[in-house]
Amino acid sequence: PKKSFLIGTARIRVGHVKIIVETEGRAPEVILDREFNFVFEAKNVTEKNLNQTVTIPLGAEALASVAVVAPRLSMEIANHELRKSITEKLLGEKK
């Protein structure tokens, strides 16, 4: 069973972010390796409102920061997924 908790003020500092994508059959690829340096703060966090007070807003702020700091990231991720799906299709047709 989950234990209840209350965090009066949660302050989360996001510093350096490194995203590594691993695809089966390929070497791991670094698609983001940058400093972000932003601070996220939430108040009165409980087990019941954790998603609404921390997880969702922190994710949104991180995505907004990525859009400013690394605008090409979403294109790189899309290209990575496209390469992956094309490779899978080609390998499937060779069987």
pLDDT for 7-28, tens place per residue?
Answer: 999 999 989 988 888 877 888 8
**Residue 21 is assigned to a structural domain of this protein:** yes
- Residue 68 domain boundaries: 6-94
Q: Quick check: is 23 in a domain?
A: yes
Indicate whether 28 belongs to any domain: yes
Asked whether residue 15 is assigned to any structural domain, the reply reads: yes
DSSP per-residue codes, 49-67: THIIIIIHHHHHHHHHHHH
pLDDT in tens, 30-58: 878 888 889 999 999 999 999 999 999 99
- Residue at 49 is within a domain: yes
Phi-psi region of 44 (alpha: psi -120 to 50; beta: other; left: phi over 0): left
Asked whether residue 1 is assigned to any structural domain, the reply reads no
Number of structural domains in the chain:
1
Name which residue leads in pLDDT, 95 or 89.
89
Among 14-18, 33-37, 61-65, 81-85, whose mean pLDDT is lowest?
81-85
More confident residue, 44 or 67: 44
Pick from 33, 31, 53, 51: which is nearest to 42 by CA?
A: 53
